[in-house]
Structure formats: structure tokens, C-alpha cells
Amino acid sequence: MDTVEDANRCIKYLNQSVLEGRYITVERSRRKRPRTPTPGHYLGLKSTRDYGHRGDHGRYRGGWIWS
């Protein structure tokens, strides 16, 4: 949703409505704990070096072979 008001409106009108013959429940999600704060800046994509510890990075996993 774009705004909290949009989300609340959807909850109000969709909660306990019928979807494909079944009643649905729509409610706000509740977290078990607060989100951990972000560092406040973009960290970029992980490099391929970050996968070296797995041992299987780069191994052929099947699929199409073009000839």
C-alpha cells in the first residue's frame, strides 16, 4: 500500500470477506521484535568472493547447454 490510510481501508473492507467461496482474514502484521536498524547507506551487491566459503559456487547445476 502507498499509505497507512490505504492499508487500513483495505483491512476494513476485506477482513472477513469471501474470496472464492472462503472467508478470509486480513489484519496488520505483528512483529515479534522490532526491526534491526539499517546502517543508513547502500552496501552494494555482494561480490562473488562472499560465496567462496560454500565450496559449490560456480558448479554446473544443470539446465540448457547451447552449442
Reported as a single tens digit per residue, the pLDDT across 40-55 is: 887 778 766 655 555 5
SS3 assignment, position 11: helix
The 10 Å Cβ neighbour count of residue 11 is 14
Query: Which residues neighbour 18 within 8 Å (Cβ) at sequence distance 6 or greater?
Result: 24
Distance of alpha carbon 67 from alpha carbon 65, whole angstroms: 6
- Does residue 21 or residue 1 have the better pLDDT? 21
Is pLDDT at 63 greater than 70 in this prediction?
no
Length of the chain equals: 67
In the numeric block, the cell 539446465 is attached to 63
Report which listed range, 3-7, 30-34, 49-53, 56-60, is most confident: 3-7
Model's pTM, two decimal places?
0.43
